[in-house]
Each structure stands twice: as C-alpha cells, then as structure tokens.
Amino acid sequence: MRNGTKKPSPNCVLLMIVSLFLISGALRFGGMGFAVANEANPSAKATQAAVDDAPKTAQHTETLLQIIATRTAELDKKEQELLERSLSLNAAEVLIEQNLVRMAEAEKALAETISRVDGAAEGDLDRLTSVYESMKPKVAASLFEQMTPDFAAGFLSRMSPQSAANIMSGLSAEAGYAISVVLAGRHVNTPTR
C-alpha cells in the first residue's frame, strides 16, 4: 500500500453505492427530490407538463380507442357481408352447375328424340316411296297429279330413275313440267364448297 492509505474492501464500496441509491430514491419518492430536480433539470419541467396533460392524453386515448372500436365493428360487419355474399355466390355457382348438367342431359334427350323422330319419319318416307314404286305407273301418276309439285318432287327424287320416269310419263304436261322445275331447282342455292 502506498502512502500508508488502506484500500477499501469491495464489499464496503458496494455497500456505499447501494446506500446512495437508496437515499436518492427516498428523496425522489418522498417529494423532496422532485422540487430539487425541477430546479436543477429543465427536462423535469417537460415531465411535469406531461403529468399535467395526462387527463387530456387519457381523454384523447379514449377517443382513439372508441374510433378504433367503431372502425373494427365496421370492418367486422363488412367482413360478414363479404362472407355472406361469398356463400351466396358459391351456392349460385353450384346451382348453375347443376342446371348446366340438367340442361346438357335435356339437350341429349332432345337430340335422341329428334333423331328417333327423324329416323321414324325417314322410315315412313322410305316405305311410302316403296309403295309408290311398286304401284302401276298409271295409278301412281294419277296420285302424283293430285300432289303439290314440291311434295311430288320429294318422292320422285327418292325413287329409282326408272320408277320415277314411268310415273312422270303418266303425268299431264303441266304437272310433269312443275315437278321437273322443282327437281331441277332443288340444289341451285347449295354452296359448291
């Protein structure tokens, strides 16, 4: 040890620091230190102003909390509306898909019905054409005289050329000419490509 001074022990130094902190805290919390701090520290005045404005700040905070609560309620309501709208759209989409499936099934059934009807009508025309072809040409010609030229031309176009010629030879000149005009003009407006 130099100069004959004794070095303080670490425990002693620690005890002194703790004591100073305790005294400082007691003074500040006891009220005495606050007045001294105001005089010595200008920022303490700002702290005092903040303490004085605390009721205003609390009121402002309450207003902000009310605004936030109102906005949150509005957003929750809009979210609920969007959810309901989304559910409605999903339900409508499912309904549309079901209707499209039903419509496709109905179209298929209608196409099958039309095909059967067309097939049946075609079969009927084929049978009737066979009946006319098997008739004696003079008897068939008398029937064709009574038909409109379009109707008669339809049957004659389905017959073999020999049967059609035999029936046409038994027609009057006017009826034969009218039917020939219809037969010749049937495919005039058909596109070539």
Structure tokens at 167: 């029936």
- Tell me: pLDDT of 95 over 80: yes
Band of pLDDT at residue 90, cut at 50, 70 and 90 = very high
155 contact partners, CB below 8 Å, separation of at least 6: 125, 128, 129, 132, 144, 147
Share of the chain residues as helix, strand and coil, in percent rounded to the nearest 5: 85, 0, 15
Please state the length of the chain.
Answer: 193
* Model confidence pLDDT, tens digit, residues 103-121: 999 999 888 888 888 778 7
pLDDT at 139: 93
* CB distance 158 to 126 below 8 Å: yes
Q: What is the pTM of this model?
A: 0.41
Residue with tokens 């936030």: 68
* Model confidence pLDDT, tens digit, residues 29-79: 655 444 544 555 555 565 565 556 666 777 888 888 899 989 999 999 999
